[in-house]
Structures are given as C-alpha cells and as structure tokens.
Amino acid sequence: MHRPTTSDRATGQELLNAVPTQRARSAPVLTAPVPAPAVATDRATGQELLNAVPTQRARPAPVVTSPAPAPAAPTAVTPAVPVVAPAPGTSLPGWRRVLQLLPTPTGTPFTFCYVLVLIATSLFVQHGDPDAVSTLLRGSSTDVAHLMDRPLLVLGASALWVAGDPLGPYAIAFFFTLTALERRIGGWRTAGVFLAGHVGATLATEIPVGVSVVAGHLPATSLHRLDYGISFGLMASIGALAGLFGPLLRATLLGFVSLMLLQDLLAFVDPLTNWGHPLALLAGIACWPAVRRWARWRNGFALLDR
C-alpha cells in the first residue's frame, strides 16, 4: 500500500510518515578568518593612528627664522676723476719757468753739449792763432770743392762754428730755440731736425753752384768759398718749433722770421746764404707732422696754445 509522503518545505527532502518533521542539520558554514584591521598611518607625518579614532595631524614644529638683516645703508660712490697731466710750464713757479728756457745736462743734453762746443770754438776763433783758425775754417767749409772731396767731414765740421758774432742774434736764437724744441721732442729728434735743415739747405744751394760752373755760367772760383755756421740748422729748428705753437703765436713767429729773411734777400749780400735760410725754414715746417707726433708721445700734448 502506498503511503503518502511529505516533503520538507525548507529543504525539499522527503519526510517519514507519522514522524515529526525532521529538520536537516545544515552543514557548518566555513568562513574565512577576518583579518586584523590594518593600522593606519598619517600620510603627512608617517605616524601610526589609533583605530576608530579620527585621523590625528601632528602639529608641525614651529619654524624658527632668524630676523632678516636690515638693508645696508647705500654708500656714496665717488666717481673717478681722470688725472690730466698739466701742460709743461703751467704748474711751475716763476723761477722754474725761467729755468725751463735754459739748457741743462739732464733735461736737454744735446743742446747743452752743443752750446759748450760752440763756446769752445768761438773762444778759439777769438783768441787762437789766426793762421790755425783760418786753416780750420777753410777745411770746414761746405763749398763745392770740399763737398766733392770729403762731404761727410765738412757737413759735420761746418756746424761746429758760429759765423759772425758769437753773441749775435743767431747765437742767442740758437740757445733758446733748440732748448725749447728738445724739451718737447727729445735730443735725438732735435738733432735730426737740425741736421735736416743744415744738410738739406747746404746741398740745395751748393749743387746749383757746381752745375752753373760746369755749364760755364759761373767762374771756377765759385767752387771755393767760406760756407760754415749754424744758421741753416737754426732756421729748420725754428720752423719745426712753430708747429708746436698755437695759431696766433705760430703766425707771429713765422711772420717775424719771414720778414727778416726777406730783408736779407733784398740786400742780397750773400746769395747762397740768403737763399739757404728760407729753404731751411721750409724744411723745418715740413717736419710738423713728425714733430707733433713726437711731442704727443713725449709730453702728452699736441699743441701749445699759449
């Protein structure tokens, strides 16, 4: 006989008749162990935080800053003032300025020694044996005959004598002109200017005489004459020195010298000498570019506007 069976609603299993409803014991549920809560750390400080406590923020340690130094008071800067060397003679006392006009063995050795030589030869001319004096003067002459025979000797020896009065205007002008020129451009350059006028004017006047004698325009006696002195070199030195002066003083000096030379040409007492002086003066003027450059190098100035 078939017995009706019942089933458990919860589990769907079949139950025995007349047996109280059995409850199937459920299988134990296995659960994974709960991991211990992680310890939280502060991101900012890296310290551990307590669970269930709001995030604690470590109070940052106070930053001790030293007080900023007070700005230094600005110091006054004195602008550099260029030192300008005074022009020669402007800052010297009166007696020193006078001494600057005179030659000295240390300041103007060329002029100083040259003046001593001229004093010695002038004393010899005045107090020496007349025959010896005449022989030396003729042997030192730069006439055509001597220039053709021994040119270097006579060109040098002719500049060791003063023609005429040793205390005349040419000697006095020589004394002051060469002193002033040497103080501005130096001894060697002053000697060069002097020789340029002395040699240049001598050759420029004597060579035409030789050509005229050869051509028959002058007698043979023109080849022998007395021609010596310092005047050609002096004129070249005056012309060169004028280039270091200002316009007014330069024009005054050149005008006075030119007027004097013009009077000599009109008198025409010594044609070769009278023509040689203007040529020597022009030789000195031609030295202006070099003389001004030498003066600028030596003394730091180009022109003397006083």
Take residue 65 and report the two structure tokens written for it.
């800053």
Distance (Å, rounded) from C-alpha 111 to C-alpha 186? Answer: 10
By CB atoms closer than 10 A (0-12, 13-18, 19+), residue 177 is buried
| Element spanning 14, H or E | strand 14-15
Q: At what angle do helices 187-215 and 109-127 cross, to 10 degrees?
A: 50
Q: Are 273 and 231 in contact (CB under 8 A)?
A: yes
Q: Is 229 left (phi over 0), alpha (psi -120 to 50) or beta?
A: left
Tokens 């060469």, located at residue:
178
By CB atoms closer than 10 A (0-12, 13-18, 19+), residue 15 is middle
How many C-beta atoms lie closer than 10 Å to residue 33's C-beta?
5
Distances from the Cα of 128 to the Cα of 39, 86, 123, angstroms: 133, 48, 8
DSSP per residue, 41-70 = B-TTT--B--TTSPPP-PPPPPPP-PPPPP
Report residue 165 CA to chain centroid gap. Answer: 45
Higher pLDDT among residues 78 and 160, named by residue: 160
In this predicted model, what pLDDT tens digit does every residue of 10-25 receive, in sequence order? 455 554 454 444 444 5
Give the model's confidence band at 110: pLDDT under 50 very low, under 70 low, under 90 confident, else very high.
Answer: very high
Q: Which of 88-102, 143-157, 187-201 has the lowest mean pLDDT?
A: 88-102
Q: Is the pLDDT of residue 305 over 50?
A: no
Distance (Å, rounded) from C-alpha 299 to C-alpha 236? Answer: 21
Helix ranges, 150-186 (H): 151-157, 169-185
In this predicted model, what pLDDT tens digit does every residue of 225-265 receive, in sequence order? 889 999 999 999 999 999 999 999 999 999 999 999 999 99
Q: What percent of the chain has pLDDT over 70?
A: 66
The angle at the Cα of 223, spanning 219 to 227, to the nearest 5 degrees, equals 130
